[in-house]
């Protein structure tokens, strides 16, 4: 049975949507503005922009570029082959990223009508068939590019991301792992913290530079740091979605423990991560790396703490805005990671 017929067949049966969990892979603020007299092309681009979950696209692109830079050992490494290899990895990963977030939306239509009504499937801009066509096409393109490139680390990164992303969302027996808070968090951690760091580093190290597989100190640091960050993203994404989760009987950590408690758990985890990053930076044997990483992480930790104290936890808009601020910290970290030596 084709993926198209499998998904379309599933969507004809409303009961599983009623049992769906409200743990979207990522969340994003915004509101859908109905079409007016705008150009249809602009409307189509805007809908796809929202469907692609742009904050995850930016995060994926930045993380892969940052990790690829960790494999650079000398100036001569900045060669056409390096930039080509990096671009191939970024494009293949972005195609897979859109497959994953798109599949999640296909199986969360009813819940998204409550939590994220601005998304194209929830708002009705996209039909289910349109969504199936997009995610099927992007998964095929991602695997096709990965196969053409011929890099086994890249191909396995795409394959494992595909398996985890599918198991996370699709509603078939033994899957839809997003129903289970701990398993859902582990899926996000596995992709964002482990696969991105290790597989894409090996892609450049072994496929592009033809060097032996060996994980450097910066790669180990990036994996450890992003493990904290991935857990935070997995926990925090449910805080703005508490209303939909309660309506559908979803026992997320936020529903169980309350918004305030989960919020401060996330802040504490990030501050711990920044403290460890400060110690790692301070132990660097390179003065420029020591100054940049210690100063950078000190600034980020201070901004996080000051902003966290001013968040109105009774306002969904304020919480969602802060969640997107967490993603901005995520981006900023990947600007600092190449400086860790």
Domains of the chain: which residue ranges? 44-210, 216-340
CA distance 161 to 186: 12
* Torsion over CA: 304, 194, 96, 73 (sign): positive
CA distance 110 to 329: 31
pLDDT at 153: 98
How would you class 206 by CB atoms within 10 Å of its CB: exposed for 0-12, middle for 13-18, buried for 19 or more? middle
Asked if 179 and 187 count as a contact pair (C-beta separation under 8 A), the reply is no
Asked if 121 and 109 count as a contact pair (C-beta separation under 8 A), the reply is yes
Residue-by-residue pLDDT tens, the chain, 341 positions: 434 443 444 444 333 333 434 444 444 444 455 555 568 899 999 999 999 999 999 999 999 999 999 999 999 999 999 999 999 999 999 999 999 999 999 999 998 998 899 999 999 999 999 999 999 999 999 999 999 999 999 999 999 999 999 999 998 888 988 888 888 889 999 999 999 999 999 999 999 999 999 999 999 999 999 999 999 998 898 888 766 666 666 667 776 777 889 999 999 999 999 999 999 999 999 999 999 999 999 999 999 999 999 999 989 899 999 999 999 999 999 999 999 98
User: How many residues can be counted in the chain?
Assistant: 341
How far separated are the first and last CA of the chain, in Å rounded?
50
Asked if 88 and 157 count as a contact pair (C-beta separation under 8 A), the reply is no
Query: Coil, helix or strand for 228?
Result: helix
Closest CA to 69 of 50, 83, 55: 83
Closest CA to 231 of 285, 268, 196: 268
Asked if 76 and 108 count as a contact pair (C-beta separation under 8 A), the reply is no
The two structure tokens encoding residue 184: 């859902």
What 251-259 contacts at long range (C-beta under 8 Å, 24+ apart), as own/partner pairs, is 251/181, 252/21, 252/22, 252/23, 252/181, 253/181, 259/313, 259/319
**pTM recorded for the entire structure:** 0.85
Half-sphere exposure of 338 (CA within 13 A, CB side): 17
CA distance 244 to 143: 34
CB atoms under 10 Å from CB of 121, counted, come to: 23
The two structure tokens encoding residue 188: 């996000």
**List of residues 6+ apart from 95 with CB closer than 8 A:** 138, 139, 141, 142, 145
- CATH of the domain spanning 44-210, picked from 3.50.50.60, 1.10.357.140, 2.60.120.860, 1.20.1630.10: 1.10.357.140
**List of residues 6+ apart from 283 with CB closer than 8 A:** none
CB atoms under 10 Å from CB of 109, counted, come to: 18
């Amino acid at each position: 049975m084709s993926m198209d017929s499998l998904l379309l067949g599933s969507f004809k049966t409303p009961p599983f949507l009623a049992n769906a969990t409200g743990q979207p892979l990522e969340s994003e603020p915004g509101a859908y503005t109905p079409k007016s007299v705008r150009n249809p092309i602009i409307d189509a681009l805007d809908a796809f922009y929202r469907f692609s979950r742009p904050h995850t696209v930016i995060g994926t692109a930045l993380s892969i570029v940052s990790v690829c830079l960790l494999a650079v050992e000398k100036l001569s490494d900045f060669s056409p082959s390096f930039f080509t290899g990096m671009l191939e990895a970024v494009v293949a990963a972005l195609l897979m990223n859109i497959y994953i977030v798109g599949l999640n939306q296909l199986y969360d239509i009813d819940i998204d009508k409550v939590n994220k009504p601005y998304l194209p499937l929830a708002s009705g801009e996209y039909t289910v068939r349109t969504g199936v066509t997009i995610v099927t096409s992007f998964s095929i393109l991602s695997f096709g590019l990965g196969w053409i490139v011929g890099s086994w680390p890249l191909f396995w990164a795409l394959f494992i991301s595909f398996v985890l992303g599918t198991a996370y969302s699709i509603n078939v027996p033994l899957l839809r792992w997003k129903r289970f808070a701990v398993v859902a968090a582990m899926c996000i951690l596995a992709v964002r913290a482990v696969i991105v760091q290790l597989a894409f580093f090996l892609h450049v190290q072994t496929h592009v530079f033809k060097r032996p597989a060996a994980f450097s100190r910066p790669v180990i640091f990036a994996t450890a740091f992003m493990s904290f960050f991935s857990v935070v993203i997995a926990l925090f994404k449910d805080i703005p979605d508490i209303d939909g989760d309660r309506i559908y009987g979803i026992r997320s950590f936020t529903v169980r423990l309350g918004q305030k408690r989960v919020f401060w758990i996330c802040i504490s985890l990030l501050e711990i991560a920044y403290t460890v990053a400060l110690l790692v930076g301070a132990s660097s044997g390179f003065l420029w790396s020591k100054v940049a990483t210690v100063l950078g992480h000190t600034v980020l930790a201070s901004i996080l703490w000051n902003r966290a104290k001013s968040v109105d936890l009774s306002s969904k808009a304020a919480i969602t805005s802060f969640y997107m601020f967490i993603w901005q910290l995520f981006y900023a970290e990947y600007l600092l990671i190449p400086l860790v030596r």
